[in-house]
Amino acid sequence: MSARLLLPAAPTAAGLTRRRFVQGLAGAGLAALWPRPAWTLRAPDAPGVVAGTDFDLSVGETWVNFTGRPRPAVTLGGQLPGPVLRWREGSEVRLRVRNALPPGAIHGPDTSIHWHGILLPADMDGVPGLSFDGIRPGESYLYRFRVRQSGTYWYHSHSGYQEQAGLYGPLIIDPLEPEPFAYERDYVLMLSDWTDLPPAALMARLKKMPSYDNTYQRTVADFLRDAGRDGLRATLRDRAAWGRMRMTPTDLSDVNAHTYTYLLNGHTAADNWTALFRPGERVRLRLINGSAMTYFDLRIPGLEMTIVAVDGQYVHPLTVDELRIAVAETYDVIVQPRGQEAYTVFAQDAARTGWVAGTLATRPGLRAPVPPLDPRPLLRMADMGHGGGAAMGGMAGMEGGCGAGMAHAGQAGHAGHAAAGAARLADNPLVDMQAMDPQPRLDDPGVGLRGNGRRVATYGALRSLFPDPDGRAPGRELTLHLTGHMERFAWSFDGVKFAQSTPLRLRHGERVRIVLVNDTMMSHPIHLHGLWSDLEDADGRFHLRKHTVDMPPGTRRSYRVRADALGRWAYHCHLFFHMESGMFREVRVEP
């Protein structure tokens, strides 16, 4: 069974509409579907679906228009997002990816595709400089490997700024065995963020003015309100602490809706992307956060969602009203709409600066009311692992006194690692703060979601449907600090940028515990290529299998890794510009 994507000719500006210019696939590709009646991904204007074992894929430049201004995007088959690629567990897939970018492409010239969360040989992983050399203009690369898993995943470029420029898409793998839940319809909902700025220019702006999008600074009126509520002395102490850090509690995201247009399956909210249902049907929604920098809080007012899989892996069903989906995560949820003809799928960014929405409806053209943005949240000292004003006393940036606080941080048995981390980070020009008392906080919904009257998913409430797949206790432990300097827009592991780092070395077959400590005031979704990350609960027991582990500010979380794949693997923050500015390491699994 084979399928082919064709790259359309570059359009002229006169032929552009407000939505993306090119949609759809060659007709031959649409016919190559698995014979499964429940598969109804193709909603009106949905990305095309291409299924099979042999794929011819072409990366090129396509003009798009989301804001009234045409801009060049990097696309697969002329689509943004790229087509839904559909594989089957146990099959061998062959994907020939051709670089058809034009000469002088601003996002080129080389390209690549990384299959996010997929277990495969290192030279098939698609990371230039580690596993292969990239795909040069006019050349092709054959990805060939056996599919060893099932579920909802995605793919994206790992070359230059192409991921931010549009080169990403959904990846669905049908299981060999029956799934532990039932549904009648099945849709992909891929969230992403688009900027009309060339991504390289956005990166340059972040380096020069990292607070450009943080327009919600506190005012004198805020000071007077806080002083009336908390007292003058406490308010002055709070402002002084933030001032010493040269930070602000309103700094919830580096890039937000002041720069980004948020997309759902490549559509703005005005497009009203719609998925159809019949009342009473069970509808599976495959939620993918393919954005570069945006955490989304998603809910469907009037409908509860039952989470059945996370990062492609089955979990004990958990019914919620809302979930926060970190960059690169995937969630599979089941909904059962009834009682009304239309429901709004509402995704607001975690900083509450913007949103995107689509519709579940009984027929095309319907819409339901769109809720307002939630109130804009503020960071607290406790959110950053400082436990309040007392803990801040020894903070004062990295100007001294941090080590003692860190020696008492985290779970029992980790004090030595914490003290070593503090010593390693003190007086580092790439580190502007360090958490005094980081905790796992697996049951915390997160900043902006606490006490909102809705049931919100947490890592603590989610649990894999299977026991520890390895069963062995970790033989050793590695502790890494997630570090940054907000004013310099510098991000790193252990205060060492990728260019100055050395690889983390694992022995083939060993079981290792990785402990992450987030010393920054930003969340970081951490992705280890090629290996599963088996998240532990607060007591160190296997809890939840993932490929991307979210690390909110001031948290300390641990997970187990079985080093069962030889080779050189990427390990990085999946916030695109954090990765590009240094929060990246190489992991080597060696004999």
> What's the topology of domain 2-178?
Immunoglobulin-like (2.60.40)
Q: How far apart are CA 262 and CA 291, in angstroms?
A: 9
Q: What is the pTM of this model?
A: 0.85
- Sequence-ordered strand ranges (E) for 120-211: 140-146, 151-156, 168-174, 185-194
Q: How far apart are CA 78 and CA 562, in angstroms?
A: 38
Q: Do domains 2-178 and 180-214+250-376 have the same CATH topology?
A: yes
Residue 240: predicted pLDDT? 62
Residue 356: predicted pLDDT? 98
Residue 409: predicted pLDDT? 30
The mean per-residue pLDDT over the stretch 16-29 comes to 32
DSSP secondary structure code for residue 19 in this structure: S
The mean per-residue pLDDT over the stretch 101-126 comes to 94
Measuring CA to CA, which residue among 460, 444, 467, 169 is closest to residue 314?
467
Contact criterion met (CB below 8 Å) for 574 and 311: no
The mean per-residue pLDDT over the stretch 89-101 comes to 97
The mean per-residue pLDDT over the stretch 56-83 comes to 95
pLDDT band at 244; cut points 50, 70, 90: low
Residue 210: predicted pLDDT? 79
Which amino acid, 572? H
Which residues, including other chains, have CB under 8 Å from residue 384's CB and lie 6 or more apart?
Answer: 433, 435, 520, 521, 553, 554
Token pair in block for residue 461: 């409430």
More confident residue, 228 or 341: 341
Average pLDDT, the chain: 84
Least confident of 31-35, 173-177, 346-350, 453-457: 31-35
The mean per-residue pLDDT over the stretch 151-179 comes to 97
How many helices (H) and strands (E) the chain has is answered by 8, 32
Which residues, including other chains, have CB under 8 Å from residue 575's CB and lie 6 or more apart?
Answer: 254, 292, 293, 327, 522, 524, 525, 583
Residue 498: predicted pLDDT? 93
Residue 4: predicted pLDDT? 34
Residue 241: predicted pLDDT? 62
Q: How far apart are CA 440 and CA 460, in angstroms?
A: 10
pLDDT > 60? residue 377 = yes
More confident residue, 414 or 64: 64
Select from 3.30.70.80, 3.40.50.1100, 4.10.640.10, 2.60.40.420 the CATH code of 379-591: 2.60.40.420
Q: What are phi and psi of 449, to 5 degrees?
A: -115, -10
Which residues, including other chains, have CB under 8 Å from residue 102's CB and lie 6 or more apart?
Answer: 10, 60, 61, 108
Least confident of 62-66, 312-316, 389-393, 467-471: 389-393
The mean per-residue pLDDT over the stretch 236-249 comes to 61
Which residues, including other chains, have CB under 8 Å from residue 348's CB and lie 6 or more apart?
Answer: 296, 297, 354, 355, 373, 374
pLDDT band at 246; cut points 50, 70, 90: low
The mean per-residue pLDDT over the stretch 393-400 comes to 32
The mean per-residue pLDDT over the stretch 532-539 comes to 96
pLDDT > 70? residue 12 = no
pLDDT > 90? residue 299 = yes
- Which H/E stretch holds residue 283? strand 283-289
- What's the CATH code, domain 180-214+250-376? 2.60.40.420
- Measured from the Cβ of residue 152, the count of other Cβ atoms closer than 10 Å reads 23
Q: How far apart are CA 167 and CA 124, in angstroms?
A: 18
The mean per-residue pLDDT over the stretch 416-442 comes to 76
More confident residue, 583 or 232: 583
413-432 exposure pattern, b = at least 16 Cβ within 10 A, e = fewer: ebeebbbebbeebbebebbb
Report domain extents, the chain: 2-178, 180-214+250-376, 379-591
